[in-house]
Amino acid sequence: MIMGSFTGRHIIDTADLSNEEILYLVDTANAIQNMGEKALDLARGKTLATLFWEPSTRTRLSFEAAMFNIGGQVLGFSEAQSSSVSKGETLADTIKTVSQYADIIAMRHPMEGSALAASHFSDSPIINGGDGAHLHPTQTMGDIYTLFKEKGRLEGLKVGFLGDMLFGRTIHTLARVLARFGVEMTFFSPEGLNIPSYVRADLEEKNATFSEFTDLEPTALKDLDMLYVTRIQKERFFSEEEYLRKKNSYVINRKILENAKNDLLVLHPLPRNEEISTDVDALPNAGYFRQAKYGLQMRMAIIASCLGRI
């Protein structure tokens, strides 16, 4: 029985969730969308804190919108400068304090492992909204929900990832989940930005079928059902020069999509720089803004589940 099993739980990595629990969250997201006004009772009297030490548009605002949509309240900060962190307060003390004010905490921090560390000090569930170049489990859950909405299934899909595989945390969580559902994967990344060894080891352990290219190989593009594009993660580079060298390695535009299946779904966690040309936006293939909406709906399911209200 899964219902209730999320109550009070931290969501740090998708590896914390069984396949059954992932599918349960997809069903829950659908169920909440069908509740109409009744959804406003799900978080009534509850407070979400959003603690963002790193910039964010979609993740923070969709957490906040999700909480409002299920009748809850929100407090928090969106930059370290406006909190006592700027006075030298530790992560532990900040979390210990905020967990006295909020029933659930969504956080983003530049350091890998920060959300896990925070969970050790928190009296409320911690939801990882991105820890450095490491993990981004709620983005992945939104991406999985998007695939169900747009493709109706995960099994048997062929998925490509394009961009910065090394520092792209959205890829690290998504690829590891897709491997568990038998999805075949192709990674296209500039030299030196390929998937980190812990992700590769995880995929191998799960006997995933995957291949890696440094070019956007047209024959590999041809068979894909979904292409997940990411930006080169500038803020994680040690030198500006190195970033500039990698920056515009690939650009997806209408012309390139002529080599792909008619119903290729193009996703992107956003923000985009120049890796998807805006001429793609008007095509039905461009799923990235729908993906942002599904991310919001999934976060409603995650918050309601961790609060034990559904």
Among residues 35 and 111, whose Cβ is nearest to ligand NCD?
111
How near is the Cβ of 48 to ligand NCD at its closest, in Å? 17
Residues of this chain that bind ligand NCD (CB under 6 A): 58-59, 130, 136, 139, 169-170, 230-231, 233, 269-271
How near is the Cβ of 112 to ligand NCD at its closest, in Å? 12
How near is the Cβ of 247 to ligand NCD at its closest, in Å? 13
Among residues 71 and 76, whose Cβ is nearest to ligand NCD?
76
**Per-residue DSSP letters for the chain?**
--TTTTTT--B--GGGS-HHHHHHHHHHHHHHHTSGGGGGGTTTT-EEEEEESS--SHHHHHHHHHHHHTT-EEEEESSGGGSGGGGT--HHHHHHHHHHH-SEEEEEESSTTHHHHHHTT-SS-EEEEEETTTB-HHHHHHHHHHHHHHHS-STT-EEEEES-TTT-HHHHHHHHHHHHTT-EEEEE--TT-SPPHHHHHHHHHTT--EEEESS--HHHHHT-SEEEE----GGG-S-HHHHHHHTTS--B-HHHHTTS-TTPEEE--S--SSSB-GGGTTSTTB-HHHHHHHHHHHHHHHHHHHTT--
Number of CB atoms found within 10 A of residue 50's CB: 25
Among residues 8 and 271, whose Cβ is nearest to ligand NCD?
271
Among residues 71 and 130, whose Cβ is nearest to ligand NCD?
130
Among residues 26 and 229, whose Cβ is nearest to ligand NCD?
229
Using CB atoms, what's the residue nearest to ligand NCD?
269
Among residues 91 and 292, whose Cβ is nearest to ligand NCD?
292
How near is the Cβ of 123 to ligand NCD at its closest, in Å? 26
**Per-residue DSSP letters for 143-159?**
HHHHHHHHHS-STT-EE
Could you tell me if 163 and 232 are in contact, meaning their C-beta atoms sit under 8 angstroms apart? yes
- Phi/psi of residue 128, nearest 5 degrees: -75, 115
Among residues 42 and 174, whose Cβ is nearest to ligand NCD?
174
How near is the Cβ of 217 to ligand NCD at its closest, in Å? 23
Among residues 7 and 248, whose Cβ is nearest to ligand NCD?
248
How near is the Cβ of 59 to ligand NCD at its closest, in Å? 4
